[in-house]
């Protein structure tokens, strides 16, 4: 193996592997080190996202939604199913097959782009040297002109609810249940908690979600969050806000959770608990004290606006640095850094990073929400269009939710788009492109949208901003 590289990337998740591929495409001799081991002890590229997060959760979300629709909705379409059954083993096998294929795809991409892929631990030493320790092997010393740190994040464990094998689990453990729990407790009503709670709720679990904050989805637009909460409650999710968990006890029958809210103290008994209260940067065994890389008080690697660390020619990207912990944010940072290393002009627009929650209905947004604009004193205008007036959504039997658009009242520039409804994660792409090019609502109003499609809802929301919606009453 070549011991000298132009670029060594430590971390093979969405940020790291993308950075490595882009660096190699730029003609740089590149290596990517990844320490991930799956449950079976096999190494795999792709990090948490591919192996224990984004991809496997979406596989289970898709499977569980199909099961739920077959059980609850197909009869309305004139489709009768006798003896509907759930084969969870087959569902889990499908999930595992998808992750395995995609991880193998990264290895193929590395080979095609001449990236040296290395399984094991990477440790940054002074002067841009990296100690690479293969799984079960002896350490080797690598030299690099540039080092990119992309080690991702790990789930937060609550001291009052410690993980207990099979009973109290993190997001990875929640993807590997071998049976549907009868009673499931979820701590945290954020992206992960809602998605995983939805999976097991659709498959038959009685789900109670405990959220410490008084506001539901505080990071989303209030109007959209309110509609989403209404839909989740209709689906049977028991979401309790302002519920601060104080203690837990694993018993022979499951787990007893104690929590406090405005009414006082409460206890609930569940079979299993998913702790989904967020993630923290993962930098264990990464940095030599003399490497010169600063870490802030929250554990994030300190970087400037283009992801340079405090050490010369050392960069950091993805979940281990400031900003939202989103795979696509880390991937784009990887592209930008790899281009900068190659001497190209590159920048990233942090103002148009979309967020998506893959529940049913989906929730997605980009840009500023209404409460942020109000707090900043921005003179804005807004418009909304309900999917209940969308022919395509009606035909799909998924007509809950809306598209909401916010624009500058003086310039008409789009400031934010917020969606709760069918395929919101796909629809938000049009808004991201529009905002990246500083489009006005008039630009979207005058753009032809195919009929009948869900994208017409985005078009109508843009029209509604100026009180010109065609297929809804303007208010």
186, 263: one domain: yes
375, 456: one domain: yes
**Rounded Cα gap, residues 384 and 419, in angstroms:** 9
- CB-neighbour burial class of residue 38 (10 A; exposed 0-12, middle 13-18, buried 19+): middle
* CATH code of residue 389: 3.30.390.30
Q: Which residues contact 77 (CB under 8 A, 6 or more apart)?
A: 397
| C-alpha closest to that of 298 among 328, 325, 330 | 325
CA distances from 185 to 192, 237, 407 (A): 13, 11, 40
The pair of structure tokens assigned to 148 is 């990119």
pLDDT tens for the chain, residues 1 to 475: 679 999 999 999 999 999 999 999 999 999 999 999 999 999 999 999 999 999 999 999 999 999 999 999 999 999 999 999 999 999 999 999 999 999 999 999 999 999 999 999 999 999 999 999 999 999 999 999 999 999 999 999 999 999 999 999 999 999 999 999 999 999 999 999 999 999 999 999 999 999 999 999 999 999 999 999 999 999 999 999 999 999 999 999 999 999 999 999 999 999 999 999 999 999 999 999 999 999 999 999 999 999 999 999 999 999 999 999 999 999 999 999 999 999 999 999 999 999 999 999 999 999 999 999 999 999 999 999 999 999 999 999 999 999 999 999 999 999 999 999 999 999 999 999 999 999 999 999 999 999 999 999 999 999 999 999 999 999 8
Q: How many secondary structure helices (H) and strands (E) does the chain include?
A: 13, 21
pLDDT at 475 (0 to 100): 82
Which of the residues are catalytic?
451
284, 148: one domain: yes
Are 404 and 384 in contact, with CB atoms under 8 Å apart? yes
296, 425: one domain: no
270, 284: one domain: no
Which residue's entry shows tokens 């006798």?
82
CA atoms within a 13 Å half-sphere pointing along the CA-CB vector of 177:
26
- State the alpha helices, DSSP H only, in 301-382: 327-341, 370-376
150, 191: one domain: no
Question: How much of the chain is helix, strand and coil, in % rounded to 5?
Answer: 35, 30, 35
Domain membership of residue 470 (yes or no) is: no
Q: What count of other Cβ atoms lies within 10 Å of the Cβ of residue 410?
A: 10
Q: What count of other Cβ atoms lies within 10 Å of the Cβ of residue 123?
A: 17
Q: Which residues contact 152 (CB under 8 A, 6 or more apart)?
A: 11, 13, 15, 16, 47, 48, 281, 282, 318, 319, 320, 330
Domain membership of residue 161 (yes or no) is: no
121, 267: one domain: no
Domain membership of residue 372 (yes or no) is: yes
Total number of domains in the chain: 3
| C-alpha closest to that of 88 among 198, 204, 191 | 204
């Amino acid at each position: 193996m070549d011991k000298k590289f132009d670029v060594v990337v430590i971390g093979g998740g969405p940020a790291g592997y993308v950075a490595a591929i882009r660096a190699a495409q730029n003609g740089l001799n590149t290596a990517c080190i990844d320490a991930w081991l799956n449950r079976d002890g096999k190494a795999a590229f792709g990090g948490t996202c591919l192996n224990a997060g984004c991809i496997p959760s979406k596989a289970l979300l898709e499977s569980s939604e199909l099961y739920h629709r077959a059980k609850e909705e197909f009869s309305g379409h004139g489709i009768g199913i006798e003896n509907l059954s759930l084969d969870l083993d087959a569902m889990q096998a499908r999930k595992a097959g998808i992750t395995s294929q995609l991880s193998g795809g990264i290895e193929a991409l590395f080979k095609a782009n001449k990236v040296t892929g290395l399984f094991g631990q990477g440790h940054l030493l002074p002067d841009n040297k990296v100690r690479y320790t293969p799984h079960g092997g002896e350490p080797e010393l690598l030299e690099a002109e540039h080092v990119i740190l992309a080690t991702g994040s790990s789930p937060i464990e609550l001291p009052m609810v410690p993980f207990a094998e099979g009973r109290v689990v993190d997001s990875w453990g929640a993807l590997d249940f071998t049976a549907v729990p009868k009673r499931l407790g979820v701590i945290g009503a954020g992206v992960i908690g809602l998605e995983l709670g939805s999976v097991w709720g659709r498959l038959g679990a009685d789900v109670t979600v405990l959220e410490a904050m008084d506001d539901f989805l505080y990071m989303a637009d209030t109007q959209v969050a309110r509609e989403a909460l209404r839909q989740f409650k209709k689906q049977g999710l028991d979401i309790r806000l302002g519920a601060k968990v104080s203690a837990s006890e694993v018993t022979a029958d499951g787990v007893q959770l104690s929590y406090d809210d405005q009414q006082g103290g409460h206890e609930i008994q569940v079979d299993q608990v998913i702790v989904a209260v967020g993630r923290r940067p993962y930098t264990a065994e990464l940095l030599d004290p003399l490497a010169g890389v600063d870490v802030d008080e929250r554990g994030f690697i300190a970087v400037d606006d283009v992801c340079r660390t405090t050490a010369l020619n050392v960069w950091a990207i993805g979940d281990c640095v400031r900003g939202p912990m989103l795979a696509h944010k880390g991937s784009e940072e990887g592209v930008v850094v790899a281009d900068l290393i190659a001497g190209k002009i590159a920048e990233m627009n942090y103002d148009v990073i979309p967020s998506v929650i893959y529940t049913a209905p989906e929730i997605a947004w980009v840009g500023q929400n209404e409460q942020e604009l109000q707090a900043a004193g921005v003179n804005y205008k807004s418009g909304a269009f309900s999917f209940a007036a969308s022919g395509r959504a009606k035909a799909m039997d998924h007509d809950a939710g809306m598209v909401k658009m916010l624009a500058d009242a003086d310039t008409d520039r789009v400031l934010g788009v917020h969606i709760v409804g069918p395929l919101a994660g796909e629809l938000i792409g049009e808004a991201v492109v529009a905002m990246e090019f500083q489009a006005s609502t008039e630009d979207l109003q005058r753009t032809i949208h195919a009929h009948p499609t869900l994208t017409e809802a985005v078009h109508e929301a843009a029209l509604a901003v100026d009180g010109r919606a065609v297929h809804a009453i303007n208010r």
